[in-house]
Chains A and B, each alone.
Chain A
Amino acid sequence: LAKTTQPISMDSYEGQEVNITCSHNNIATNDYITWYQQFPSQGPRFIIQGYKTKVTNEVASLFIPADRKSSTLSLPRVSLSDTAVYYCLVGDPGGSYIPTFGRGTSLIVHP
């Protein structure tokens, strides 16, 4: 199971772009990278997933370099409502994948 490392906390201001990097040095060939977002008093929710290069949806972008040993979640023009904990997970969707969460990155967006 690939271990992930991400910063414990980050601060930003409204309107800025936020980039959260996750390291996963021992990622396996079939592993995908998945990010979740958790607001206080709620369960985590899926925000984006990717295998390589770049993935973009209405919420975020995910950048994955060629060696796939890290990934960066990019949140464009954050607002106060983006204050949350962000988790990076790595796993093989075709295998018996059991989501394992670390402590995540606590993002605080200031006015």
Chain B
Amino acid sequence: NAGVTQTPKFRVLKTGQSMTLLCAQDMNHEYMYWYRQDPGMGLRLIHYSVGEGTTAKGEVPDGYNVSRLKKQNFLLGLESAAPSQTSVYFCASSSPTGRGTEAFFGQGTRLTVV
């Protein structure tokens, strides 16, 4: 049981380049999230999804787009990367049933924009 898997683990981009981060979960969770974490800071919510085909903006959505075409996958896109998007990105998932506040996290993607 892999849980939440993020791809890639590391990436270096040049300013203006685009890329997509992939998050996959195998727990049949309804909810999925993308966070970013900067040094010494907590996690800030970028976008989230409460079900297949739905997405919503979080606290810091500018410069990012997301898609949830399949229940198990949540994609985070950067159309034109900027140095300010250098960060560690975490994906998470959870289920609204049972212990609904327990979120499971991926191992993170370290992105550097030069």
Is A43 in contact with chain B by the CB < 8 A criterion? yes
Asked if B102 and A98 make an inter-chain contact with CB atoms under 8 angstroms apart, the answer reads no
Is B101 in contact with chain A by the CB < 8 A criterion? yes
CB distance from A30 to the nearest CB of B (A): 11
- Identify A104's interface contact among B33, B35, B42, B102, CB under 8 A: B42
Chain B residue, CB-CB nearest to A33: B101
Chain A residue, CB-CB nearest to B108: A43
- B-facing residues in A76-94 (Cβ within 8 Å): 85, 87, 89, 91, 93-94
Is B28 in contact with chain A by the CB < 8 A criterion? no
CB distance from B59 to the nearest CB of A (A): 8
Is A13 in contact with chain B by the CB < 8 A criterion? no
* Known A42-B107, A93-B100, A103-B42: A98·B33 in contact at CB below 8 Å: yes
Is B105 in contact with chain A by the CB < 8 A criterion? yes
Listed stretches B13-21, B43-51, B62-70, B76-84; interface member: B43-51
Is B24 in contact with chain A by the CB < 8 A criterion? no
Asked if B100 and A97 make an inter-chain contact with CB atoms under 8 angstroms apart, the answer reads yes
CA distance A49 to B33 in the complex (A): 20
CA distance A97 to B105 in the complex (A): 16
Asked if B33 and A46 make an inter-chain contact with CB atoms under 8 angstroms apart, the answer reads no
Asked if B101 and A91 make an inter-chain contact with CB atoms under 8 angstroms apart, the answer reads yes
CA distance A45 to B42 in the complex (A): 14
Is B8 in contact with chain A by the CB < 8 A criterion? no
Which residues on B sit within 8 Å (CB–CB) of A99?
Answer: 33, 45, 92, 94, 101, 103
CA distance A36 to B37 in the complex (A): 15
Is B53 in contact with chain A by the CB < 8 A criterion? no
Which residues on B sit within 8 Å (CB–CB) of A87?
Answer: 42
Task: Sample 17 A-B pairs with CB under 8 A, ordered by A number.
Answer: A32-B101, A34-B102, A41-B108, A42-B107, A43-B107, A85-B42, A89-B101, A93-B99, A93-B100, A95-B96, A96-B50, A97-B100, A97-B101, A99-B33, A99-B92, A100-B59, A101-B35
